[in-house]
A and B are shown apart, each in its own frame.
Chain A
Amino acid sequence: MANLHWLANPGRFLRIAAVVLPWLAAATAVLLAVGLWLALRAPQDATQGAPAKIMYMHVPSAILSMTIFGAMAFASAIALIWRHPLADIAAKASAAIGAGFTASCLITGSLWGRPSWGTFWVWDARLTSELILFFIYLGYIAIWQAIEDPQRASRAAAIVALAGSVNLPIIHYSVVWWNTLHQPPGLMQGRTDPSMAVPLLTLMGAFFLFYVTLLLWRMEREIVGRKIRQFRLLRAQA
């Protein structure tokens, strides 16, 4: 926890972010370019054919949609318990990125579903629980927009993030618990051939770096925005 407290000072955070961000952004761009190059050159899936190329966008989006929500729930817990001044900023700054990846996961999945299952959408456990995750993201974002006072908004939003995290294991195990149309994951069980696993893992890494880069930029924006708000409040009082 010591490191977390050390980073609790927003001024220090901004100075570290300014040093790290150019490298992080460059690494993201390089890894994304390499991952895309590998993915587009990867051989066709033996059973699913060309549409399986959608996997390289769909799977990293899906994993990020859940990872980001997990990170938001973790940050929210820290914000609630220790009142860490950056924790609620981190959670808030994550939400739009996570919601975007969730939408991307649903849309790419739907585009993959049509040629392989014959339908864009089914109310199957995996698809439905991922759709619910999208709505939880929207609810979380709506709370920040509806409550003007950041302290009160932070409290309410943190509770939504913690309650919503119950959905994460449901999404993950949905393909095991229920008989779904959606295929179970193959990557971690070693059932994916390296010719496809390597591009996929590279893109997953790239998407993750992208999240961290965007998170730092959005946190900085939130800190600047709160300073602006504070200035205006002081002006109004004076």
Chain B
Amino acid sequence: MAEYFAMGGFAWFIWPAYVVTLGFMLGITVSTLRGLKADRRTLAELEKGAPHRQRRQAAAGMTAAQADAPQGVARDA
């Protein structure tokens, strides 16, 4: 076992490579999911207090992120 982890003396090159790559993958997963959770909560709070009209407008504004997009897209389709 110890011999395997020593990697013929190259342990200090091989294992950091695994730590860097897998560490990045884990890190970005955790930060994405945490951010998503927090943002969902913020949005739910905003929606709770908002009148129905405002809720519809916010949703429409998001869809229309590209200004005239929805109509243009519909026509092309």
Find chain A residues with CB under 8 A from B7 CB: 50, 53
Find chain B residues with CB under 8 A from A194 CB: none
> Which of A69-77, A136-144, A182-190, A226-234 is the interface stretch?
A226-234
Taking a contact as CB atoms under 8 Å apart, the answer to whether B39 and A225 are in contact is yes
Taking a contact as CB atoms under 8 Å apart, the answer to whether A228 and B39 are in contact is yes
A231 with B46, Cβ < 8 A, contacts A210-B25, A224-B40 known: yes
Query: Is there a chain A Cβ closer than 8 Å to B2's Cβ?
Result: no
A83 with B66, Cβ < 8 A, contacts A5-B76, A51-B10 known: yes
Taking a contact as CB atoms under 8 Å apart, the answer to whether A103 and B32 are in contact is no
B64-77: CB near A (< 8 Å → 1, else 0) gives: 11111110111011
Find chain A residues with CB under 8 A from B74 CB: 5
- Majority-rule SS of A interface residues: helix
CA A51 – CA B8 in complex, angstroms? 9
A114 with B39, Cβ < 8 A, contacts A88-B66, A230-B57, A230-B62 known: no
Q: Which of B25-77 contact A (CB under 8 A)?
A: 25, 28-29, 32-33, 35-36, 39-40, 42-43, 46-47, 50, 54, 57-59, 61-70, 72-74, 76-77
**29 A–B contacts from the bound complex (CB under 8 Å):** A2-B77, A6-B77, A50-B9, A50-B10, A54-B13, A54-B14, A57-B21, A82-B72, A83-B73, A84-B66, A85-B70, A88-B66, A96-B28, A104-B24, A111-B20, A114-B13, A115-B10, A115-B13, A154-B65, A217-B33, A226-B65, A227-B58, A227-B59, A228-B42, A230-B59, A230-B61, A231-B54, A231-B58, A234-B58
**Chain A residues with a Cβ under 8 A of chain B:** 1-2, 5-6, 8-11, 44, 49-51, 53-54, 57-58, 61, 79, 82-85, 88-89, 96-97, 100-101, 103-104, 107-108, 111-112, 114-115, 150-151, 154, 210, 214, 217-218, 220-221, 223-228, 230-235, 238
Nearest 4 CB-CB pairings of A with B:
A230-B61, A5-B77, A57-B21, A108-B17
**Chain B residues with a Cβ under 8 A of chain A:** 7-10, 13-14, 16-18, 20-22, 24-25, 28-29, 32-33, 35-36, 39-40, 42-43, 46-47, 50, 54, 57-59, 61-70, 72-74, 76-77
